Structure 1
């Protein structure tokens, strides 16, 4: 890179207004008040995490699970997509898809749920979020008492679903199955999803 190019970048950085965190880190409430945050910004351990643009697989998989679960969830449950959950003061995460209690008191202007509202959290793993989706987020969801968690990975262009259930004694997740081609479960309710049906329609 040329010296002139370096000078140009230095000038751009001088004009940027960087968000400086408080000494104790950001709080869940700050996420609603900070101006101009990119969409889908999360709070993990008091730090802001900005999500990269998502690939086609991620978008299609979210659509598949959202539509399938909306069609199969009983009437006392609702399906949300990319909606934040306040786990504690310094952690406000945004699962890709959630199944929640239909009477959760978010209100029409609500921006977050509480762990007690969430029956199932689903994360579709992306290259930039692999560590968070495989380790950080499941640990935090389990510690907060969210009963069911699915991690979805891409294999040959199709989703593979790793299904976990909370062990309340240890506040950690136990694997209950790994599903290729078809996801058929009886908990948290009757679910039957053909995983081979990803499409662009």
Structure 2
């Protein structure tokens, strides 16, 4: 008897079989039946696990604050992939990009040269990717700023980085607890303790 129903899978679902050489960035838009927020790392599909409440609320806080504070020439998206090359389309949790880089409502990815800031909120299953693999790829692709966000006693801690153009790697610019204040890539101030605070009806 098939084990598919026991694990909540459709009995007739067939997992996509990668072609020789692995999947390509274009395949990510064409593979049928992929769950939301699949990404491509070195030609391999990476599927996201269910979000925790901390992950969801941290993304909501950062997205709302950044939308309020970005200058007019920038914009903010959440869970949109970056097409780094033919074998890599990682999906940051939040990204800030040049507004002129938006191509319309059917857009599914951004160019790395348009990304000003990529943010990863670390989950248990993404720890290695978010600490090593993805920031390395972002830096090599030219993404100037990167934040890694981790949980500490129920609150987000933001590790901020800026790309060194000479070495093409990220160098740390700060560890932010309770409050984040930065001047780059634009003036930003975030009360990180507000992650569990409900917005008022007026807000």
Q: TM-score range by the shorter chain?
A: over 0.9
State how 1:22-171 maps to structure 2 within 5 Å: 22-171=19-168
- Secondary structure of 1:192's counterpart equals strand
> What is the alpha-carbon root mean square deviation over aligned residues?
1.6
With over 3 angstroms needed to count, the CA separation of the structure-2 counterparts of 1:11 and 1:111, relative to structure 1, is: closer
Count of residue correspondences: 195
User: Offset at 1:108?
Assistant: 1.6
Within the alignment, does 1:17 sit opposite 2:14 as a pair?
yes
With over 3 angstroms needed to count, the CA separation of the structure-2 counterparts of 1:186 and 1:30, relative to structure 1, is: same
Question: Conserved in 2, the CA contact under 8 Å of 1:161 and 1:178?
Answer: yes
Question: Conserved in 2, the CA contact under 8 Å of 1:159 and 1:180?
Answer: yes
Please report the TM-score for the alignment, with normalisation by the length of structure 1. Answer: 0.93
With over 3 angstroms needed to count, the CA separation of the structure-2 counterparts of 1:24 and 1:187, relative to structure 1, is: same
User: Offset at 1:17?
Assistant: 1.3
With over 3 angstroms needed to count, the CA separation of the structure-2 counterparts of 1:36 and 1:184, relative to structure 1, is: same
User: Offset at 1:9?
Assistant: 2.3
User: Offset at 1:10?
Assistant: 8.0
User: Offset at 1:106?
Assistant: 2.4
Q: Equivalents in 2 of 1:92, 1:169: separation in Å?
A: 24
Q: Equivalents in 2 of 1:177, 1:11: separation in Å?
A: 47
Question: Conserved in 2, the CA contact under 8 Å of 1:60 and 1:200?
Answer: no
Mean alpha-carbon deviation: is it higher for 10-19 or for 167-176? 10-19
Q: Equivalents in 2 of 1:33, 1:104: separation in Å?
A: 23
Q: Equivalents in 1 of 2:33, 2:94: separation in Å?
A: 24
Q: Which residue of 1 aligns with 2:174?
A: 177
Q: Equivalents in 2 of 1:18, 1:175: separation in Å?
A: 40
User: Offset at 1:15?
Assistant: 4.6
Question: Conserved in 2, the CA contact under 8 Å of 1:87 and 1:144?
Answer: yes
